Amino acid sequence: MVPRKRNQDCLVVFQPSGRRGYVSQGKSIKAAAREIGVDIEGVCGEKATCGKCKIRIEAGYFDEYGIESRMSNVSQLCEAEGRLLSAQQQHDGYRLACQALIFGDVVVFVPEESRLGKHVMRKVPTERSINLKPAVKKYCIKVVPATLQDNLGDWERLRIELEKRFHLSNLAIDYQVLVSLQRVIRQSNWVVTVSVWMDSEVIKVEPGVVEKGYGLAVDIGTTTLAGYLCDLSNGEVMAADSMTNPQVHYGEDVMSRIGYAITHEGGCQRLNQVIVKALNQIAGRTAAGTGIKRQAIVDATVVGNTCMHHIFLNLDPQYLGKAPFTPSIHHSLNIKARDLGLRISPGAYVHVLPIEAGFVGADNVGALIAEEPYNQDDMTLIVDIGTNGELVLGNRDRLISASCATGPAFEGGEIRHGMRAAPGAVEKIEIAPDTKEVRFKVIGKKRWNTESGDTGAKGICGSGIIDAIAHLVRAGIVDRSGRFITDMETPRLRAADEGPEFVIAWANETSVGHDIVVCQKDVRNIQLAKGAMYAGAKIIMRRLGVERLDRILLAGAFGSQIDKESAALIGLFPDCALENVRAIGNAAGDGARIALLNVDKRAEAERVAKMVEYVELTMEPDFDKTFAEAMWFPHMREGFPHLQHLLHQKGTD
Amino acid sequence: MVPRKRNQDCLVVFQPSGRRGYVSQGKSIKAAAREIGVDIEGVCGEKATCGKCKIRIEAGYFDEYGIESRMSNVSQLCEAEGRLLSAQQQHDGYRLACQALIFGDVVVFVPEESRLGKHVMRKVPTERSINLKPAVKKYCIKVVPATLQDNLGDWERLRIELEKRFHLSNLAIDYQVLVSLQRVIRQSNWVVTVSVWMDSEVIKVEPGVVEKGYGLAVDIGTTTLAGYLCDLSNGEVMAADSMTNPQVHYGEDVMSRIGYAITHEGGCQRLNQVIVKALNQIAGRTAAGTGIKRQAIVDATVVGNTCMHHIFLNLDPQYLGKAPFTPSIHHSLNIKARDLGLRISPGAYVHVLPIEAGFVGADNVGALIAEEPYNQDDMTLIVDIGTNGELVLGNRDRLISASCATGPAFEGGEIRHGMRAAPGAVEKIEIAPDTKEVRFKVIGKKRWNTESGDTGAKGICGSGIIDAIAHLVRAGIVDRSGRFITDMETPRLRAADEGPEFVIAWANETSVGHDIVVCQKDVRNIQLAKGAMYAGAKIIMRRLGVERLDRILLAGAFGSQIDKESAALIGLFPDCALENVRAIGNAAGDGARIALLNVDKRAEAERVAKMVEYVELTMEPDFDKTFAEAMWFPHMREGFPHLQHLLHQKGTD
């Protein structure tokens, strides 16, 4: 397993996994981990700002590897590490994996909180009724065999038959299909099955009778990829698969990835290659799960936010990262799978849905064609709280979208003990208003902490943080401006160097060996994130002249995880009857699936993407004020008629 | 230069060139020569039927190479060699290079007549007036820079500008162009030059103002490739280039190449690769000659007979080689240059002209759109005597085509001392009717043999053979049925083992050290070839109900080389006023150039290709009789009013 040791190579051993390998001198520990296959957390794209990739250099002679691991075998502590690591951590040999460069043999300990947990995949397709009108249709025909009296070319023979029997006129043929046409036609005694794309191009010819064609709908999330393999003859989802977007190694959010693409030679290509490889894995796995060959996939649709869209298409995202944030293209695209490196049927087209503006991309368009607010009178707000927040508001008259930099707080980033929604993450939290005692539930465990001591808690994920803050506010421990009320009589609330903090899980209830807390800074970061979302919604409501929302749809994995009462209480969105707040699952992925199964919806997507007006929030003159007011729980000034019964408890007004 | 000797490798030294190299055991001498870069003749595609690749194994110890070359170092004489090599040749160590396999170190002598001469290129473009309407047009525009208030995508900005300023609507963009669009737009301060194909797709975007675009018209002849680089803004031919089709190594005529593709693993791919490589050389050389980059070539058109067409497109030609001779496709095609491996502007399309039927391919379509017989009342016969004979006859009412297996005789194949039109070939011959003395001229020499003893003659090429036979008939040495009249009093006519032969050049007038003769079998082979052409013409005349031809156009290099009086005299075509028999040069190549410069002519080509009826000559019930009669000089029965003055000389009636 370990590659041959070259001159100058250094042996790196990761503990506790024991994985090891030789890497060239000067490589960062993070890069070495990537190479060797050890997953280390990281949210900032190796810019030394998030501090999530803490590891410890183990010093001493390791007999089992025959090496001496020394602190001096890595580069000196840099300024950022001095800032992000406490004096004690520095003393104990902690480093940031993205900053420490390897110059000799080392043993690296990866503490549990820095280990990248296997992601919890929740991108399951939602049951939706979809009219079937796929782009690719199959036609089985018997071609009249050529004779000396009638030796017209094979393609012309096929074309005549397709016109005569199915009224398909002016068909073209994919060049690669043409290359094997004669052999295929003769393989099954002149009986072939022809796949025709958009009634205009033959994209596949197979020998004999082949009834079913398959399509793959793909949602490229910043954090999670989802793929749905569908039977194009009946619309059924044959297999669903999802996986962590492998680009997370290069940065957790879109801005870090853009940063990576800009600052690394060939960075854009690398990001593109890893995503294409991952999609090929999804294609291969869903096909294998369905018992078909990947070449039986004759159509594909792709959605993703503007940055994911660009990187998937190998379009340099650098211009998205700086004002005026201009994308390459808004229009939808049909590109041959082979030109994108997607290993499905080589003649197949990949339909990439159009993007709107800013980072509001094809994923949002997918959500729109799934929910069709443009066909309704109700004023609907669709909120997609992914790694990047996207909002779209409106009805049949008008639609306005906005994107806001929520930051990684909802994903557990920039939260002291935050982590992603992975096993070990505290996902539900309740605080008793009277005793201030805490009940919590951890992903991967069936029971709450109060029922079982073995919680295995490692940290808190986004839905847990939202619960925590909602309950801290309801219990009067945090006031509506976001400040801890320090004169509480509970051992859970305590003063620390960086200010007050509230203990969610005691060390003995965790698997990380220390208390898991919510600190003042965590509350501030959540305020920033939810304030941005709320302010965004408020500004587009104002643009539309709308006072009240009829309906709020929470899209994305996060929207399915959060408790909507907690979310409403902290003011993640403006007031709305809670029964009209609904999680719609992976609406972007559903949109991709809908576009896969119905070409009219592709045309609709193109129209809608053009129809949606985009508001660049940071350009709005009243943004700062709106944002500041929205940082309060649930808001500084606004009334929440639908939350009256909750807000009028003690300490919340 | 010589690759490292591996185990089992054999050193092969070719003389007189001295070129040498190591090859693996079991390789044929022909294959070794190809690998080492020594050109050896060959017409049959290494099927041991033409006997043109004779070489001699030199036995003995060669001090300079430190090897011993032994007859036993090559495989034993095979049956075909026993047939094709005389007893004397076998005794002297002669072998066929395509059959003798190498099993040890050898020194191989390549006699002059087996050396592949550098081809005489005559595929110069003909002056023609062409209406300019290229497929690719350039538009220089200033894109409005994006701002925060207006951050529409780059492609949409470009599209709007193209629509506003040039009324180009619904434009698409090539995916590869999109990939670099943003960088290019910003490279020259938002000023770009856009190349638009067929008013529908942006195939190139360049920074700044670029006025000229270039196109490449290519004629893939079985023997010769020709390329014309044209300025698309004014139609001017900037550079013309031609070279031997490198596929000749794998067989001289289309049937041998098809045979090679069928009998060799990956043969079709190999033939495709060598042709693509050659076209890339032509693109590179013409571009360099014009002082432009090959990427400045934004359009290309290709013509070729059906077999060349298929191989260029990597379409397996095997079905062309057997009844019912069905091609893959007749329609014209537009394929991205990058998909074909052509290294011009990567977004450029290559337009491949349609084919007619049988081997009457896109080259004939090219000739048709160049000469436009379908716009005339005159009954015109276009004869393309390439390695494969193609005929098309008709006027505005109807056009009929046919192809005939002329065999390689006109190219010097199957002729005792035949050779291609290369330096050293006797190209013009005159025989004095009284003295029977011979005057001849050799390619590469300015003077006739009667003016200079130093002729350097190596053999006779097609035009020389036609002259020779016409003069043998006129001088009464050969009668109209093709038989030598043996009771002539001239030392030039003599009896040999294989029958009578006539000496064209005495050994001392040659560079090969032996007499160059025309033998009875040569006359028979020419009769077969010209009989096939004549019979083909006669059959399509009958189909059309035509008695007399108004005009005969001789297309192709051979048509430009032959003496039309000699050709008429031997009956290469039916009677016609000689002033109306005209060589039109490389009409196929001119057709490619016309289609390059005028898209209406592409549509015309598509219409004409469909309009032309095809006659499969060998299927005609009276073909054998027509053919037999046509083998006579000029014909067994028909009158030749326009040749009366020549035919009424002694011995020709």
The answer, yes or no, to whether residue B653 has pLDDT greater than 50, is no
Confidence grade of residue B533 (pLDDT, cut at 50, 70, 90): very high
Distances in whole angstroms, Cα of residue B158 to Cα of each of A220, A399, A551, B184, B186: 27, 25, 38, 12, 12
Chain B CB within 8 Å of residue A147 CB: yes
Residue of A nearest to B311 (CA): A179
**pLDDT given for residue B139 in this prediction:** 96
Chain A CB within 8 Å of residue B7 CB: no
Crossing angle (nearest 10°) for helices A623-630 and A520-544: 130
Poorest-pLDDT segment among B232-236, B409-413, B584-588: B409-413
CB contact under 8 A, A153 and B328: yes
**pLDDT given for residue A648 in this prediction:** 61
Structure tokens at B521: 């079998």
Give me the interface pTM, i.e. the ipTM. Answer: 0.80
**pLDDT given for residue A6 in this prediction:** 60
Q: Are B432 and B475 in contact (CB under 8 A)?
A: yes
Q: What is the mean pLDDT of each run of 10 residues along chain A (653 residues)?
A: 61 83 90 83 78 87 82 90 88 91 91 67 65 95 91 94 95 97 95 97 96 96 91 93 86 87 93 96 94 96 95 96 92 96 97 90 90 95 85 95 82 82 90 94 88 82 94 95 91 92 93 91 94 95 94 88 94 95 90 96 95 89 94 93 75 42
Identify the residue whose tokens are 């847990």. A464
Residue of A nearest to B334 (CA): A175
B330 contact residues in A (CB cutoff 8 A): 152-153, 155-156
Distances in whole angstroms, Cα of residue B313 to Cα of each of A9, A84, B328: 48, 61, 10
B183 contact residues in A (CB cutoff 8 A): 316
Q: Please provide residue B191's backbone torsions phi and psi, each rounded to the nearest 5 degrees.
A: -105, 125
Structure tokens at B27: 């390789």
Q: Where are the alpha helices (DSSP H) in B545-572?
A: 556-561, 564-570
- Distance, in Å, from the CA atom of B476 to the CA atom of B464, rounded to the nearest integer, reads 18
The answer, yes or no, to whether residue B121 has pLDDT greater than 80, is no
Element (H, E) at A12: strand A10-15
**pLDDT given for residue B573 in this prediction:** 95
More confident residue, B224 or B431: B431
CB contact under 8 A, A155 and B328: yes
- Distance, in Å, from the CA atom of B418 to the CA atom of B411, rounded to the nearest integer, reads 8
Nearby residues of A514 by Cβ (< 8 Å), 6 or more positions away? A507
A361 contact residues in B (CB cutoff 8 A): none
Measured in Å, how far apart are chain A's first and last C-alpha atoms?
62
CA distance to partner chain A, nearest, from residue B149 (Å): 8
- Distance, in Å, from the CA atom of B449 to the CA atom of B418, rounded to the nearest integer, reads 18
Element (H, E) at B163: helix B154-166
The answer, yes or no, to whether residue B648 has pLDDT greater than 90, is no
- Distance, in Å, from the CA atom of A255 to the CA atom of A311, rounded to the nearest integer, reads 12
B463-496 pLDDT, tens digit per residue, is 999 999 999 999 999 999 999 998 888 999 999 9
Which residue of B148, B150, B183 is in closest CB contact with A316?
B183
Residue B548 CB coordination number (10 Å): 12
CB contact under 8 A, B315 and A147: no
CA distance to partner chain A, nearest, from residue B147 (Å): 5
Q: Are B504 and B426 in contact (CB under 8 A)?
A: yes
Residue of B nearest to A324 (CA): B148
The answer, yes or no, to whether residue B541 has pLDDT greater than 90, is yes
- Distance, in Å, from the CA atom of B640 to the CA atom of B593, rounded to the nearest integer, reads 37
CA nearest to A372, candidates A600, A89, A32: A600
Which residue of A150, A175, A619 is in closest CB contact with B339?
A175
CB contact under 8 A, A328 and B154: yes
CA distance to partner chain B, nearest, from residue A521 (Å): 32
More confident residue, B533 or B119: B533
Rg (CA), chain A: 27
Residue A366 CB coordination number (10 Å): 31
**pLDDT given for residue B257 in this prediction:** 92
CB contact under 8 A, A329 and B155: yes
pTM score: 0.81
B403 contact residues in A (CB cutoff 8 A): none
**pLDDT given for residue B451 in this prediction:** 84
Which residue of A148, A178, A327 is in closest CB contact with B328?
A178
- Distance, in Å, from the CA atom of A260 to the CA atom of A271, rounded to the nearest integer, reads 9
Interface of A with B in 179-198 (CB under 8 A): 179, 181-183, 186
B628-641 pLDDT, tens digit per residue, is 999 999 999 998 99
- Distance, in Å, from the CA atom of B250 to the CA atom of B13, rounded to the nearest integer, reads 22
Read out DSSP for B283-336? HHHHHHHHT--GGGEEEEEEEE-HHHHHHHTT--GGGGSSTT---S--S-EEEE
Chain B CB within 8 Å of residue A653 CB: no
Q: β-strand A459-460 against A425-431: which pairing, if any?
A: parallel
Chain A CB within 8 Å of residue B170 CB: no
HEC sequence for A386-407:
CCCEEEEEECCCCEEEEEECCH
- Distance, in Å, from the CA atom of A159 to the CA atom of B164, rounded to the nearest integer, reads 38
Identify the residue whose tokens are 């096929």. A158
Chain A CB within 8 Å of residue B315 CB: yes
**pLDDT given for residue B222 in this prediction:** 86
CA distance to partner chain A, nearest, from residue B180 (Å): 7
Read out DSSP for A20-76? EEEE-TT-BHHHHHHHHT--B--SSSSSSSS-TTEEEEEPEEETTTTEEE-GGGBPP
Chain A CB within 8 Å of residue B174 CB: no
CB contact under 8 A, A156 and B325: no
Chain B CB within 8 Å of residue A151 CB: yes
Residue of A nearest to B155 (CA): A329
B339 contact residues in A (CB cutoff 8 A): 175-176
CA nearest to B462, candidates B508, B544, B407: B407
Rg (CA), chain B: 27
CB contact under 8 A, A313 and B178: yes
- Distance, in Å, from the CA atom of A55 to the CA atom of A100, rounded to the nearest integer, reads 10
Interface of A with B in 565-624 (CB under 8 A): 616, 619
Chain B CB within 8 Å of residue A170 CB: no
SS3 category, A552 = strand
